[in-house]
Amino acid sequence: MKLNKTAQWILTVLILVVLICVAVVIFNKQRVIQSDLGAQLTQAQQEYTKYTAQRSDLEGRLSRANTDISRLQEKFHLPTESVEITDAIFAASHDSNVDITGISCDFPKETQARGDDVISYDAFTLTITAQSDVVTKLLKFSDALSAAFPGSVIRSERVDVAGGTITVELTLYTHKGT
């Protein structure tokens, strides 16, 4: 079956119109996809910038927190002798027949002894409060503390005769790292 020339032209034009329509539809879909991808890319770049700034902020906060933790760990460092120190204090109170009513300790302070070699020490200032109904027991407690810690220095001692209490401020020196 042979088509006449007019039918061939109409068929050719019709095929070209269909192809052009298909090309336009595909082009428009591609343009919509490209537009969506462009918007998603812009949003992703904004989020990246935002999260990069947040990351820098969080890393700075983490660094400060780690520094704070290191500083606090140094402050709250307790020597291994702390149990022995409190045991000696309670033994002195038991031997003197007084009751301990309070013990407080400052943070250790690093000190150094200079001589042929430099030796580092930690100095602890303890404030110990004890109570008894007899003043001589309180004074015996002070002597027992001096005997228990021969390398220590008693900074002050307050005896309240009426209240039956003694407050001793004692500085202990321990070799650094023990």
pLDDT of residue 72 exceeding 70 = no
Query: What is the mean pLDDT of the segment spanning 155-169?
Result: 91
Question: 174: how many CB neighbours lie within 10 A of its CB?
Answer: 18
The pLDDT assigned to 74 comes to 61
The predicted-structure confidence for 122-146, as pLDDT tens digits, reads as follows: 788 889 999 999 889 999 999 999 8
| Greatest distance between any 2 Cα atoms in the chain | 138
Confidence of residue 83 (pLDDT cuts 50, 70, 90): confident
**E strands, 20-117, where?**
99-105, 109-114
The pLDDT assigned to 178 comes to 44
Distance, in Å, from the CA atom of 87 to the CA atom of 33, rounded to the nearest integer, reads 78
The predicted-structure confidence for 26-70, as pLDDT tens digits, reads as follows: 999 999 999 999 999 999 999 999 998 899 889 999 999 888 887
